[in-house]
Chains A and B, each alone.
Chain A
Amino acid sequence: MKQLRRNFLKLSGGAGVAAAAAAAGLLKAGSAWAAPWNKSAFESKAVADALKGLGATNLIESKDITITAPDIAENGAIVPIAITSKIPNTQNISIIAEKNPFPLAASFDISAGSEGYVSVRVKMGQTSDVRAIVKADGKFYTAVKEVKVTVGGCG
């Protein structure tokens, strides 16, 4: 138990851990109809582990993925990121902020009824590559864009 607890602390680096663990339990009860939250991918601290959690292997660089985001974010608390995938049969789009404590920020399962497009806002602690992972026809494609984060304010 002690060992486990230490690992947990290491993982999420703070007092939120216990709550996170409790919450994960609650979630199962609460959302039977949604795909279960991908705990292993979201709680990975390394990009490689997050990719493993997504099942993403043999990434192919693709020009058919567009990342729309500011070159410089004025405020890391709210960085707008939109991903467009022109790859046919796009099934999933995931967004990874590589230098975040937990790099995987979001993962979208996309049905045939939706375009390969999602737009969200992400917290970023520092300048980092933002990586899009697109799953299409069982293959994984990727594109990357750097977003510079300057600490806002004059403090």
Chain B
Amino acid sequence: MAEPMKIRATLQGDTADVRILMRHPMETGTRKTATGVVPVHFIQSVIVEHNGKTVLDAQWSQAISRDPFLGLRVKGAKLGDKISVTWTDNKGDKRNDEVAVSAGS
């Protein structure tokens, strides 16, 4: 089923630089393989929360590349703040992962 995301959230001043990699096929519904056309299957919604408050509510089409990346910047962040990411795809599959904001390099 849905596999863990890789989330990096690092503090740059008072902003958290958030970089998210997700494992998802993001099938357009037009790709052909030896066994036929692969059905459309893609993440439609990604919600990013900062300490429980939604900071980004994304809607995607099947044009987002496979194994998607999402980068954003969260204002007013502190070390240890929780960044939580939830995606939902067109089949209703979901995945939620969470990290704490860490010190930037």
Interface residues of A in 27-72 (CB under 8 A from B): 27, 29-31, 34-35, 37-38, 42
Interface pairs (21), CB distance under 8 Å: A14-B37, A16-B29, A23-B90, A26-B90, A34-B88, A35-B45, A42-B61, A77-B66, A102-B63, A104-B61, A105-B61, A105-B63, A106-B64, A108-B58, A111-B55, A111-B57, A115-B74, A118-B58, A118-B72, A119-B70, A123-B63
Using a CB–CB cutoff of 8 Å, the interface residues on chain B facing chain A are: 15, 27-30, 36-37, 39-41, 44-45, 47-48, 50, 53-66, 68-76, 88, 90-92, 94
The chain B residue sitting closest to A14, CB to CB, is B30
Q: In the complex the two chains form, what is the Cα distance from A38 to B58 in whole Å?
A: 11
Contact residues in A for B69 (Cβ distance below 8 Å): 80, 119-121
**Does A136 reach chain B (CB closer than 8 Å)?**
no
Chain A 118-141, CB-CB to B under 8 Å as 1, else 0, gives 111111100000000000000000
Q: In the complex the two chains form, what is the Cα distance from A13 to B73 in whole Å?
A: 37
Q: What's the A-B contact tally at a CB cutoff of 8 Å?
A: 149
Q: In the complex the two chains form, what is the Cα distance from A6 to B90 in whole Å?
A: 22
* Interface pair A114/B65, CB less than 8 Å apart: no
Q: How far is the CB of B76 from chain A (nearest CB, A)?
A: 7
* Interface pair A35/B59, CB less than 8 Å apart: yes
* Interface pair A77/B65, CB less than 8 Å apart: yes
Which of B27, B50, B92 has its CB near the most chain A CB atoms (within 10 A)?
B92
Q: How far is the CB of B85 from chain A (nearest CB, A)?
A: 13
**Does A15 reach chain B (CB closer than 8 Å)?**
yes
How many of chain A's residues have a CB under 8 angstroms from any CB in B? 48
Say what secondary structure dominates the interface of chain A. Answer: mixed
* Interface pair A110/B56, CB less than 8 Å apart: yes
* Interface pair A113/B88, CB less than 8 Å apart: no
Closest 9 A/B residue pairs (Cβ)? A16-B29, A119-B71, A23-B90, A16-B40, A30-B92, A115-B73, A109-B57, A121-B65, A113-B55
Contact residues in B for A142 (Cβ distance below 8 Å): none
* Contact (A114, B40) CB under 8 Å given A17-B29, A123-B63: no
**Does A20 reach chain B (CB closer than 8 Å)?**
yes
* Interface pair A114/B63, CB less than 8 Å apart: no
* One of A19, A80, A97, A106 near B59 (C-beta < 8 A): A106
**Does A144 reach chain B (CB closer than 8 Å)?**
no
Contact residues in B for A115 (Cβ distance below 8 Å): 15, 72-75
**Does A87 reach chain B (CB closer than 8 Å)?**
no
